[in-house]
Amino acid sequence: MAAGTRALLLAVAAASCCSLLVAANPPAATVADVCKGTAFPALCTTTAGEQAERYHNVVDPLTVLEMQVDAFAKRTEAARAHVAEAAQTASPAARAKLDLCNNLYLDVLDNLGACRRAIGFKDAVTIRATMGMAAQDMQNCDEQFRQIGENNPMKRFDESLVEMSENCRSLSNMI
């Protein structure tokens, strides 16, 4: 068989496989459609929907997951900014715990970097693992304040970040 014919047959076979994959996984109509399968659909829709335009309105579980990870990173950065504000009026013991929480948020950002790399490989297992570690960091921050018997000024952030991590894990099950 001539090299040109072989190349043509390979191209036709590849195109056929791709069309079968597209037919087997048609894209969802909206971000809300994809988010219905997550633990916190309203949060998913709100945070991912804000970023849909950046992704050229491509809506599938993998893209919505990328949107969620981007939103997660922004929320983590907002939490870090809030740490600095909260530390100004916190007790000395709470300031030390806030410093630890800030380090935990840095760890979350590292985990999000690993998650982004895993998304590139469609590695759902690693995505779920990195999201589990991120959720644990938020819970560790909360635990620090329970230990000293003070209210956690980061509680609102920690709760939403844990919910976002749950949504990312749900989305990873869809890819």
Model pLDDT for residues 21-54, shown as the tens digit of each residue = 444 455 547 899 999 999 999 999 999 887 777 8
Q: Is the CB of residue 82 less than 8 Å from the CB of residue 57?
A: no
Percent of the chain with pLDDT over 70: 84
pLDDT number for residue 175: 93
Rounded to an integer, the average pLDDT of 57-63 is 88
For residue 99 the two structure tokens come to 């410093």
Q: Which CATH class is domain 29-172?
A: mainly alpha
Q: Structural domain boundaries of the chain?
A: 29-172
In the predicted model, is pLDDT for residue 100 greater than 50?
yes
In the predicted model, is pLDDT for residue 1 greater than 60?
no
Place of tokens 């935990």: 104
Model pLDDT for residues 104-162, shown as the tens digit of each residue = 999 999 999 999 999 999 999 999 999 999 999 999 999 999 999 999 999 999 999 99
Instruction: Name the nearest CA neighbour of 67 among 91, 44, 87, 84.
Output: 44
Cβ neighbours of 127 (radius 10 Å): 25
pLDDT grade for 17, boundaries at 50, 70 and 90: very low
Instruction: Name the nearest CA neighbour of 69 among 44, 89, 33.
Output: 44
pLDDT grade for 167, boundaries at 50, 70 and 90: very high
